[in-house]
Chain A
Amino acid sequence: MTRVRTRTLLIAGVLLALVLAGFVSYYASQSPDGLEKVSADKGIDAKEQDHQLKDGPLADYSVKGVHNERLSGGLAGVIGVGATLLVGTGVFWLVRKRSPGTDPAGARTADSGAGTGA
């Protein structure tokens, strides 16, 4: 099996996520999800309260002011993927194990891992 470079895999994965959220999501089922359906059928939702940010610019996966449904939902999806990628990568980058030699004292990076697939 062909081994792909880490960078290639990351770029392909991001593109796939963008296509799924930005384009394919338009074709997703509009039916209520399991919890929504059960709640409505059984009356669990009788005391449901509005979301605190229900009038936000991206509420319900549509961009406020963009009236074309496909464009609005797709744009919201792309923004969501981008924002999740940024926040997620940021958190994980801060949490990660520092390899020896990358301490903040300014020591040279000992990139001994180079060539092992990255």
Chain B
Amino acid sequence: MHIPNGFIDGPVSAGAAVVAVAGIAVGLRGARRELDERTAPLAGLVAAFVFAVQMLNFPVAGGTSGHLLGGTLAAILVGPYTGVLCVAVVLLMQGLFFADGGLTALGLNITIMGIVTVVVGYGLFRLALGLLPARHSSVPIAAFVGALVSVPAAACVFTGFYAIGGTTDVSIGKVAGAMIGVHVLIGIGEAIITAATVSSVLAVRPDLVHGARGLARPLELRSAGGTR
């Protein structure tokens, strides 16, 4: 979903850049509370993992592909503030080194793929988790829901930016219909990858999944001295 240069006009791209900078600033402030000596390297790994999986386009209907956006995944694993920063780092590397996503459109891309996916995906994840039984097995289900909706939500916001700053004259209804339609399908892929990855980390180190904190953990056998 990387927007190239020239799709959205200069003023709207600049406006989105301001939103992106503000989002990163909020992310940097909030991430301080989410990261410590143990989780900081994990967050670096999450960024690298999102970069890698974004290269794996999977086919959806009709000669179209999609790839992970990763905002929901990153937010659940390392926290929402850090999650925004993870996606922003990935988009920065892609734009600067791989010519993927126009540099003029970097603010748009960070806003849509970083901020929107985290706010919508992580917000829905928390909401779903609140409705499900408070145990670890609920986490991948809530992750699925958040990731599923985050992708069409990003497509909606793209359409919004296009409506106010598109450089071409295509009817907004057509853009919205086509963008949301295909991104509902891509969202299914996003949801599967997100739920599978969260389950895998949850299986080996539930304590490292930010979104699973505070849930009942399975009973563990310990010796009288507290060692395992």
Residue numbers of A with Cβ under 8 A of B are: 1-4, 6, 9-10, 13-14, 16-18, 20-21, 24-25, 28-35, 37-39, 41-54, 56, 58-61, 76-77, 79-93, 95-97, 99, 113, 117-118
Query: Nearest-CB distance from A77 to chain B (Å)?
Result: 6
Judge whether B33 is part of the interface by a CB distance below 8 angstroms: yes
Q: Return chain B residues, CB-CB under 8 Å to A30.
A: 57, 65
Query: Nearest-CB distance from B164 to chain A (Å)?
Result: 14
Decide: B41 and A28 in contact? CB cutoff 8 A. Answer: no
Query: Nearest-CB distance from B219 to chain A (Å)?
Result: 12
- Closest chain A residue to B78 by CB distance? A92
Interface residues of B in 19-51 (CB under 8 A from A): 28, 31-33, 35-49, 51
Residue numbers of B with Cβ under 8 A of A are: 1-7, 28, 31-33, 35-49, 51-53, 55-60, 62-67, 82, 85-86, 89-90, 92-94, 96-100, 102-104, 155, 158, 162, 166-168, 170, 174-175, 178-179, 182-183, 186, 201, 203-205, 207-208, 218, 228
Query: Nearest-CB distance from A103 to chain B (Å)?
Result: 14
Decide: B40 and A92 in contact? CB cutoff 8 A. Answer: yes
Q: Return chain A residues, CB-CB under 8 Å to B35.
A: 92, 95-97
Decide: B57 and A28 in contact? CB cutoff 8 A. Answer: yes
Decide: B38 and A87 in contact? CB cutoff 8 A. Answer: no
- Closest chain A residue to B179 by CB distance? A38
Contact of B103 among A9, A51, A76, A118 (CB under 8 A): A51
Query: Nearest-CB distance from B7 to chain A (Å)?
Result: 6
* A83 vs B205: C-alpha distance when bound (angstroms): 26
Q: A48-B7, A97-B32 are in contact. Are A31 and B98 (CB under 8 A)?
A: no
- Closest chain A residue to B96 by CB distance? A53
- Closest chain B residue to A52 by CB distance? B103
* A90 vs B64: C-alpha distance when bound (angstroms): 36
Q: Return chain A residues, CB-CB under 8 Å to B64.
A: 31-34, 37
- Closest chain B residue to A94 by CB distance? B40
Q: Return chain B residues, CB-CB under 8 Å to A46.
A: 167-168
Query: Nearest-CB distance from A11 to chain B (Å)?
Result: 9
Listed residue (A52, A82, A84, A99) with the most chain B CB atoms within 10 angstroms of its CB:
A84
* A59 vs B62: C-alpha distance when bound (angstroms): 27
* A39 vs B183: C-alpha distance when bound (angstroms): 13
Q: A35-B179, A43-B170, A85-B47 are in contact. Are A4 and B98 (CB under 8 A)?
A: no
- Closest chain B residue to A38 by CB distance? B178
Query: Nearest-CB distance from A63 to chain B (Å)?
Result: 11
Decide: A9 and B205 in contact? CB cutoff 8 A. Answer: yes
Having A20-B56, A32-B65, one finds 9 other A-B pairs with CB under 8 Å, namely: A6-B38, A13-B48, A44-B170, A46-B168, A51-B5, A85-B45, A92-B41, A92-B85, A97-B32
